[in-house]
Homo-oligomer: A and B are copies of this chain.
Amino acid sequence: MKRYEQNPIIQPSDVKPSREDFEVIGVFNAGVAKYNDKIILLLRVAEKPIDRKDGICRSVYYDVNAGEIKLLEFDQADKEIDLSDSRWIKTPSKNYITSISHFRLASSEDGLHFDIDEKPSMSASNLYEIYGIEDPRITLIDKEYYISYSAISDVGITECLAVTKDFNNFERLGVIFHPDNKDVEIFPEKIGGYYYALNRPSTSLFGKPDIWIAKSPDLMCWGDYRYLMGAREGSWDNGRIGGSAIPIRTEQGWLEIYHGATKEDVYCLGAVLLKIDEPYKVIARSTKPILKPEADYEKEGFFGGVVFSCGVILEDKLVRIYYGAADTCMCYAEASLEEIMDTLEDVD
């Protein structure tokens, strides 16, 4: 895997905040698509209210009744409030988030230098999204781009679907996976009459965050869930796993670039090969990661030790990987399809 020398390709300082009183603290985990001969990134942009050094800490949320983003203010001197984790304002009754994510469009001729829109393409706008929208994946089906994304709210983490033809108008289609679910990758074509999607339910009592697969007649309604694969003891993905990129059709099978974390929360990328006609069957899986946090921009940031992709482009046997580093910036790396296939080992 060869990293681009000028990584990161997009940093928080490259992105204009959506409001004057906000600052961008992360631009990462972008959905990826080809549109009109350009590479499109649908960036996840995380923002927080600018610290005014006024002794007030601020939580941010979408107010469904008002139809806009609002702030909640807390006195930093309040001894009942715990501010030790910068992601949270923890009060005795509830934890409040300190940042919120939206989606922003970036486009590029060469896939390395991007023009970034000044305004959000999609931002929190209903009761499932009051704490923002995260980690989009883009699947092109019949000239329409379907975007699956995580919506965060008090009723849980759902996966929602939106669609666009032009990356200008985005239509929300609704919640497609009930809470909690994340990391949904819709396959780019029907298989045996059904669409398929990888997904990553979280469970409370039994179960771990592992990868499942479901099918759908219409992209909206999903079922026939099957457990696909789990974390592996003694491996680079022994903590938790989830799908990352939209699966790529290859001669050997569906190639899925997925993410795996160690129990210590080091997030790497690996690959798994699924049967073309039975994508719920695993053929082979990476015995070592194809990308792991090694560069400074991957090891340090809002959440250090993370490489996390939401999309790749296959061009002439070259896999072009766009990935978020340390939940802070967007980076680029590439590898030949062959190199990635070489990491795979057959699964019994």
Q: Which residues of A contact B (CB under 8 A)?
A: 127-128, 131, 152-158, 174-181, 199, 201-207, 210, 212, 214-218, 220-227, 230
A218: which B residues are within 8 A, CB to CB?
Answer: 217, 221
> Contact check: which of B181, B199, B204, B221 meets A221 at CB < 8 Å?
B221
User: Are A156 and B226 also in contact (CB < 8 A) when A178-B178, A178-B214, A221-B215 are?
Assistant: no
Min CB distance A169 to B, Å, is: 21
**Contact between A226 and B180 (Cβ–Cβ < 8 Å)?**
no
Q: Which residues of B lie under 8 Å from residue A180 when comparing CB positions? A: 201, 203-207
Residue among A180, A206, A220, A226 with most chain B CB within 10 A? A206
Distance A155 CA – B210 CA, assembled complex (angstroms): 8
CA distance A181 to B174 in the complex (A): 19
Is B226 a contact of A175 with CB atoms below 8 Å?
Answer: yes
Please indicate the chain B residues that have their CB under 8 angstroms from the CB of A221 in the complex: 214-218, 221-224
| Contact in complex: B224, A154 (CB < 8 Å) | no
User: When the two chains form their complex, are residues B156 and A223 in contact, meaning their CB atoms are under 8 A apart?
Assistant: no
Contact partners of A177 in chain B: CB under 8 A: 178, 223, 225
Among candidates B127, B174, B226, B230, residue contacting A223 with C-beta atoms closer than 8 Å: B174
Q: Given A201-B180, A218-B217, is A175 in contact with B224 using a C-beta cutoff of 8 Å?
A: yes
A212: B residues at CB distance < 8 A: 178
List of B residues within 8 angstroms of A158 by Cβ: 225
Residues of chain B contacted by A220 (CB below 8 angstroms): 223-224
Do residues A225 and B175 form an inter-chain contact, with CB atoms below 8 A?
yes
Question: Which 9 A/B pairs are nearest by Cβ-Cβ distance?
Answer: A156-B207, A221-B223, A156-B203, A175-B225, A221-B221, A220-B223, A178-B201, A179-B203, A174-B224
Contact partner of A202 (CB less than 8 A), chosen from B203, B214, B215, B217, is: B203
- Give the residue among A153, A155, A210, A226 with the most B Cβ atoms within 10 A: A155
- Chain B positions within 8 Å of A179 at CB level: 201, 203, 206-207
Q: Which residues of B contact A178 (CB under 8 A)?
A: 177-178, 181, 199, 201, 212, 214, 225
For the complex, what is the distance from the CA of A252 to the CA of B336, rounded to whole Å? 63
| Complex interface: chain B residues within 8 A of A175 (CB) | 223-226
In the complex, 7 of the A-B residue pairs with CB atoms within 8 angstroms, ordered by the A residue number, are A153-B207, A155-B230, A156-B203, A179-B207, A180-B201, A203-B204, A221-B223
CB-defined contacts of A155 to chain B, threshold 8 Å: 203, 206-207, 210, 227, 230
